[in-house]
Chains A and B, each alone.
Chain A
Amino acid sequence: MNIPDHHQEHLWHLEQKSLYILREAYNRFPKLAMLWSMGKDSTLMLWLARKAFFGHIPFPLIHIDTTYKIPEMITFRDQLAKDWNLKLLISKNTDALNNGMNSNLGRLECCNALKTEALQKFLEKNHFQSLLVAIRRDEEGSRAKERYFSPRDQRFQWDYVEQPPELWDQYNTSFPKETHVRIHPILHWSELDIWLYPQQEKIPTLSLYYAHNGLRFRSVGCAPCTAPIQSEADTIEKIIEELKHTQISERSGRAQDKADTYAMEKLRLKGYM
């Protein structure tokens, strides 16, 4: 063994497993795409995909643009797409937007229309059967119950009671043609890992995550539904220190999670990420 210290060994195992899953997805699903929100998780997954495929990602990235994103995110997206030579597709639910959909009409309704529906329509139109999504088990209860390869029906519905078995690392990748498959390559990473790894690899991250005037974002989404937390962590090292001692969960600044006790479950049953 020549993996130096504990942290690096731990990250190496996480990384190798994710590389394996990314390659498995690419081998098994010809119509594959990756979801990128520019957040820390999906940007890390994007980095892993570059590693898995030796610098060139052989499938497109999809960004679901709700038009309510914080402007810095869009700048960041366009810059990386250019620097890294990414094949980026942008999807919007223009019908819902033209009808004036926004979070004042209901946070769950807004997420359903501008994210879930937008994605569903886009995948259908472009015939993508499977989607790489950067969710993690430790983020939230219903995500904790996910499989690495998770089948959804044509309408995106998630049947969490009848989830398929996933034994060892034998991932079942044989599904009926009409099944939509969500693949979760970083399901096993924790919030702390998601910061330790970019520190080691020097992966670019949104400046929103770093403290400005005593505030920073711990999780980013649409401007109206994302609140910053009080923090002095203005470097990656300080963020890591902060996370080691926090008593508050990661998505506490995300308003849609609080709209209802089972909000994320309800969103996710319908096909939310």
Chain B
Amino acid sequence: MVKKVVVIGHVDHGKSTLIGQILTHTQQVFLDKIHKVEKTCRETGKNFEFAFLLDAFEKEQGQGVTIDKVEIPWNYQGQHFIFIDTPGHKEFLRNMLSGASNASIAVILVDGAENYLESTHGDIFTNHLQMIKLLGIQNIIVLLNKIDRVSYEEKHFQNNAQLIRDIAHRESTPLLEIIPLSAYYNENIFTQSEKMPWYKGKTFTQTLLDINVNEIADDKTFLRLSLQDVYKRSQDKRIYIAKIEHGVLEVGMSLQFFPSRSQSTIKTVEHWKHEDSMASYPPGASIGFTLTDPLYLERGEIGVNIGTPPPVLTHSIHAGILWMSKIPMVERKTYRIRILHQESDCEIESIHKMFSFGAEVTIRTHKEMACDRFQEYMHSGRFVLIDNHAVVGGGIILNPNTQILKSEKGFITPERREKLMGHKGAILWFTGLSGAGKSTIAKTLEDILLKKGIHCVVLDGDNMRQGLCKDLGFLPEDRLENMRRVAEVAKIFSQNSYIAVSALISPFSSHRQNIKNLCVGLNFFEIYIDCPIEECAKRDPKGLYQKSQDGKLDFFTGHQSDYEPPVHPDLVLSTLKNSPIQCAENIVNFLSEQRIIP
């Protein structure tokens, strides 16, 4: 069995250098290719770049980045490997996932010379772990590269390794090894490094050799075949074309097909060459068979052995999705879902939790789908989502049949409620730096509106974090989840004709776009509370800027994580020039222009 190893890591952490080093050390790269790279490097005045052995495109070599994944075969000590080198840049995520999706081993490469938490690398590492988990890869190795730059110091390695262990624990993703190494100087790759006598674990290649990836049918998984096509040979001869995904198939087996539920028995397995005939057909086999009854079956049916647990038939799937499109995921929009060869239109009914690269969602399919839980059946437990001819997402089925939730509608229509309340509902989504004046304006606005008899509620960031969101921290994905919860609360108020004001920092534009998508169909306004960072730091109402300067806060907007101002906000309020009362009055006028309030 070939072991497919995907190498993942942030830009410049040394992925291609590592693979280049391994290939050259074991003399598995062609001499003329090395000469070609030497020539290119000489012409462009660079030192020999291992990475160029892998990065083939002119754009890749010119800019020193990997754009697309590449698969490189490597043989070592009688075992066969394929290294999949993937791009680290976020904009090439699709290519990275294409590369990673077929691997059984994931190697996460981290620049071990950096100090882990003082940069955003902790987040990137978390994202990579979540991604690997959603792709269903079980064997994970972490390499702390560039250890030569910190003089092979043990303490430095141990600090970083502990942080990595903490993150892996939090994501409940077990790691096989954490290895200190130098890809460039070939330390701890093939032999135990003399420069790091303190490291007692396995070398990188030894770890790879020891992993067992044998996934060929054990007795625990039952047959799952996926019908690809039907070739009609004569009036009563149909050859059913299928791929064996799990279990084994034998002539004489009684099968049931889903979703159609029809049954028959395998009569023959057809071959062009008699020698290709086998006693039983294992996973991976692409076969043509005939049935004792010439059933009318469509592409997409899943065949199982009668008497074994069938797949789940469902309209509603709880899933983890990796999102690969530049266009964000939209609730209630129609996508096309594909599970093996079955296809159906579907909607993302609700988003439960968001990650940087995807989300946990409930998908509602129009057609009944046959599928399995990913943990039990890998192939019939995953899917892709297609939008306008493009694959936009892929994921794994966490629970194939969720309790179907129906939206319960009240007796009062929105129009009647508006009449009773005297105004419409709206969501005012403030965004701005800490100290820009979001809370002050919100409180002032609330005061003015309530005096006018207009129902208003303020959802303050700090207050929400003491209750509904008290389990969340300040990492980007915690912030996103915090925003999502506040948005859901704001939605309820807005649907009930309240003016809901959210006063969170909301630093990232992609997160704000996600929130806008959640609120499609409602009166949602993004309001930018604009104030220069120097002024915010001077005001510093909570003393946060001071603490951050003293190094007591790790993730504080304006210092370590960046604030991205909105490009097209619905309203901009400058608190440098205007008083809180003036700003609040501006909003009142705006609401009246928008015909939300009289």
Chain A positions near chain B (C-beta within 8 angstroms): 1-3, 10, 13, 16-17, 19-20, 23-24, 26-27, 50-55, 137-138, 140-142, 144-145, 147, 160-161, 163-170, 172, 174-176, 188, 190, 201, 246-249, 252, 261-262, 265
Q: Does B67 contact A (CB under 8 A)?
A: yes
- Decide: B272 and A50 in contact? CB cutoff 8 A: yes
Distance to closest chain A CB from B34 (angstroms): 9
**Could you give, for residues 30-74 of chain B, a 1 whenever the CB lies within 8 Å of some chain A CB and a 0 otherwise?**
111100100110000000000000001111000000011111110
- Decide: A249 and B33 in contact? CB cutoff 8 A: yes
**Chain A residues with CB below 8 A from B383, complex form:** 170
Interface residues of B: mostly helix, strand, loop or mixed?
mixed
Specify which of B70, B279, B384 is in contact with A170 (CB 8 Å cutoff).
B384
Specify which of A1, A161, A164 is in contact with B59 (CB 8 Å cutoff).
A161
Which of B14-22, B149-157, B386-394, B437-445 contacts the other chain?
B386-394
CA–CA, A150 and B71, complex, Å: 16
Q: Does B121 contact A (CB under 8 A)?
A: no
**Chain B residues with CB below 8 A from A167, complex form:** 97-98, 101, 384, 391, 394
- Residue among A50, A163, A168, A169 with the most chain B CB within 10 A? A168
- Decide: B32 and A252 in contact? CB cutoff 8 A: yes
**Chain B residues with CB below 8 A from A172, complex form:** 384, 386, 389-391
- Decide: B30 and A20 in contact? CB cutoff 8 A: no
**Chain B residues with CB below 8 A from A140, complex form:** 56
- Decide: A265 and B57 in contact? CB cutoff 8 A: yes
**Chain B residues with CB below 8 A from A54, complex form:** 231, 239, 270-272, 288
Distance to closest chain B CB from A198 (angstroms): 14
Q: Does B468 contact A (CB under 8 A)?
A: no
Specify which of B32, B67, B276, B288 is in contact with A160 (CB 8 Å cutoff).
B67
The closest CB in chain A to the CB of B285 belongs to A16
CA–CA, A10 and B382, complex, Å: 26
- Residue among B2, B56, B288, B382 with the most chain A CB within 10 A? B56
Distance to closest chain A CB from B16 (angstroms): 13
CA–CA, A174 and B285, complex, Å: 24
The closest CB in chain B to the CB of A177 belongs to B389
A-B contact pairs, 23 of them (CB 8 A): A10-B2, A19-B286, A24-B228, A26-B229, A137-B71, A141-B56, A141-B70, A144-B71, A160-B67, A161-B68, A163-B94, A165-B95, A165-B97, A167-B101, A167-B384, A170-B391, A172-B386, A188-B71, A249-B33, A261-B36, A261-B40, A262-B57, A262-B58
Distance to closest chain B CB from A58 (angstroms): 9
Query: Given A54-B239, A172-B390, is A160 in contact with B57 using a C-beta cutoff of 8 Å?
Result: yes
Specify which of A165, A176, A249 is in contact with B391 (CB 8 Å cutoff).
A165
- Decide: A265 and B58 in contact? CB cutoff 8 A: yes
**Could you give, for residues 183-222 of chain B, a 1 whenever the CB lies within 8 Å of some chain A CB and a 0 otherwise?**
0000000000000000000000000000000001100000
Q: Does B299 contact A (CB under 8 A)?
A: yes
Q: Does B158 contact A (CB under 8 A)?
A: no
User: How big is chain B's contact interface, by range?
Assistant: 35 or more
Query: Given A51-B273, A261-B40, is A145 in contact with B94 using a C-beta cutoff of 8 Å?
Result: no
Distance to closest chain B CB from A255 (angstroms): 14
The closest CB in chain A to the CB of B279 belongs to A2
Ranked 9 nearest A-B pairs via Cβ? A141-B56, A249-B30, A20-B286, A145-B68, A165-B94, A167-B394, A262-B58, A19-B286, A167-B101
Distance to closest chain B CB from A132 (angstroms): 16
Specify which of B39, B231, B284, B386 is in contact with A13 (CB 8 Å cutoff).
B284
**Chain B residues with CB below 8 A from A26, complex form:** 229
Q: Does B282 contact A (CB under 8 A)?
A: yes
CA–CA, A85 and B133, complex, Å: 50
CA–CA, A1 and B2, complex, Å: 16
Q: Does B520 contact A (CB under 8 A)?
A: no
Q: Does B589 contact A (CB under 8 A)?
A: no
- Decide: B384 and A163 in contact? CB cutoff 8 A: no
Q: Does B278 contact A (CB under 8 A)?
A: yes
CA–CA, A52 and B285, complex, Å: 12
Q: List 10 additional A-B contacts (Cβ < 8 Å) besides A54-B288, A160-B57.
A: A2-B279, A10-B2, A24-B228, A26-B229, A51-B273, A55-B272, A165-B94, A165-B97, A166-B98, A261-B36
Specify which of A16, A24, A160, A166 is in contact with B284 (CB 8 Å cutoff).
A16
Specify which of A53, A163, A169, A261 is in contact with B68 (CB 8 Å cutoff).
A163
- Decide: B67 and A161 in contact? CB cutoff 8 A: yes
- Decide: B270 and A165 in contact? CB cutoff 8 A: no
CA–CA, A26 and B231, complex, Å: 11
Specify which of A55, A248, A265 is in contact with B56 (CB 8 Å cutoff).
A265
CA–CA, A16 and B70, complex, Å: 22
Distance to closest chain B CB from A48 (angstroms): 10
The closest CB in chain A to the CB of B244 belongs to A16
**Chain A residues with CB below 8 A from B13, complex form:** none
- Decide: A145 and B382 in contact? CB cutoff 8 A: no
**Chain B residues with CB below 8 A from A190, complex form:** 73
